[in-house]
Amino acid sequence: MPPATASTLNMHRSVPSTPSQFSIAVIALLASIALWVGGYLAVVAKGGILGGTRSMDLKVEDAVVVQGEALQRGSLWAPTADAQGVLIIRMTDRVIDTASFPSIQIAALADTPPMAVRILWRQAEGPRTTFAKTIVWQGNGRERVALSADPQWRGRVAGLAIAFRLLPRAGVLFRSATLQSETGRDILSQTVREWLDHEPWGQHSVNYLFGGSPNPRVPLVPAAFAVAVVAFWLYRLLAKRWRLAPSLAVGAAFAIGAWIAADVRWQLNLFSNLDRTAEKYAGKTIDEKHRAAEDGNIYRIAETIRKGLPAGVTKVTLVSDLADSELFLGKLRYYLFPLWLQPKPDTLEAQSVLAIVQSTHSTLDSAAGTLRLDDGRTASVAMLVDDPMIRLVRLR
């Protein structure tokens, strides 16, 4: 066999090597991520993809309750509506350039679904007119409002507030408010923060919990599987270009990788919840655990009622502005069980026991032993418990 000539060697060196299935899969995955990120930013980045404006965090510590009452529930700020059900919170009085902040995100959860919610702002120049934008409250803990869609959100504004129409004395657990710049860099930062945000235990935790913020810009699970689908499509195109037979195993690997990404986030969130729960409740008695919980005030009210009841009494009538709050009423009934709780004093029977909790229009004269209800009815009563949170009386 003749020896190889120089031209033959050069020909062999010029033939490109075929990439492996693994290399093609990696290229397809990276290309899929780049396509999704670039396409999403091209559509939603109102402030430019590479803009440097950062979001403006409106600190809860600087917020002021203009109408209603500022209360704390454990470590959470819970401003509460007045007796007419109105709650107005001034979030900031700083001058804001509206062109830099086309949307606002509010992390808050109301005790009961609000009847109406409005964002309020005032012009910084000219007649200083106050404008209002009605928003649809999602009620999932994270509200995102597009302010730029309102023609009045332009120029410079001085001050930003939010107004709620709620049930009387209903509260709103307020966590944060952020004016978002909508630049590409800021959107990516927001998305990553939302995916990594801690999701605490809640009423749906048993059925649905994987971590991250509620109502995110981009839900983690659909995003992961969308990237996997496009990556497999690109992989097939690249494999055919290099004359390789596409492998279904690569598609399965993409799907399993997306599932693992969501599962790892879920596991990290569970460990975080377990750690925080241990810090809050470990080593405490049942009574101490209830008092440390977010509804500790309701538990204390129930225990005060239970300890102040005369022997043989199995029914308590509530006199409270919170009687229409399903959250308050449900938790109080739970803690009083098996005692029966009547939510309102529709009838006044002799020897009935009334629990008076945050009742603005009821008047109790303990010295004279008289109680005047908000509907004008009066009754002679004997004081059983006189506590700052609750007064327990019995009809004579």
Residue 12's pLDDT is: 47
Q: Cα Rg for the chain, rounded, in angstroms?
A: 30
DSSP-assigned beta bridge partners for residue 110: 172
Torsion of CA 135, 136, 137, 142, to 10 degrees: -80
Task: Name the residue among 297, 300, 294, 296 with its Cα closest to residue 276.
Answer: 294
160 falls in which pLDDT band (50, 70, 90)? very high
pLDDT cut 90: percent of the chain above it: 33
Confidence (pLDDT) at 175: 85
- Asked if residue 76 has pLDDT above 80, the reply is no
Q: How far is the first Cα of the chain from the last one, in angstroms, to the nearest whole number?
A: 122
Burial class (CB in 10 A: 0-12, 13-18, 19+), 308: buried
Contact 80, 144 (CB under 8 A): no
Tokens of 287: 């009574």
pTM above 0.75, yes or no: no
- pLDDT for 3 equals 54
Q: Which pLDDT does position 202 carry in this prediction?
A: 60
**pLDDT at position 302 over 60:** yes
Phi then psi dihedrals of residue 379, to 5 deg = -150, 150
pLDDT tens per residue, range 306-349: 999 998 889 999 998 888 888 889 999 999 999 999 988 888 88
Paired strand residues for 176 = 107
Q: How far apart are CA 280 and CA 286, in angstroms?
A: 12
Distances (CA, A) of 168 to 49, 83, 111, 245, 321: 45, 5, 11, 68, 6
How confident is the model over 350-371, as pLDDT tens digits? 889 989 998 888 888 888 888 8
pLDDT value for 209: 56
User: Residue 119's closest CA among 95, 82, 92?
Assistant: 92
DSSP string, 352-366: -EEEEES-TT-EEET
Average pLDDT estimate for 200-220: 67
**Average pLDDT value for residue range 15-31:** 85
The CA-atom distances, in angstroms, between 256 and each of 13, 26, 338 are: 39, 15, 49
| Angle at which helices 248-281 and 21-44 cross, to 10° | 60
Task: Report which secondary-structure segment, H or E, holds 165.
Answer: strand 156-165
Total residue count of the chain as it appears in this document = 396
Q: Give dist(CA 140, CA 269) in Å, integer.
A: 18
- Beta-carbon contacts of 263 under 8 Å, excluding residues fewer than 6 positions away, are 210
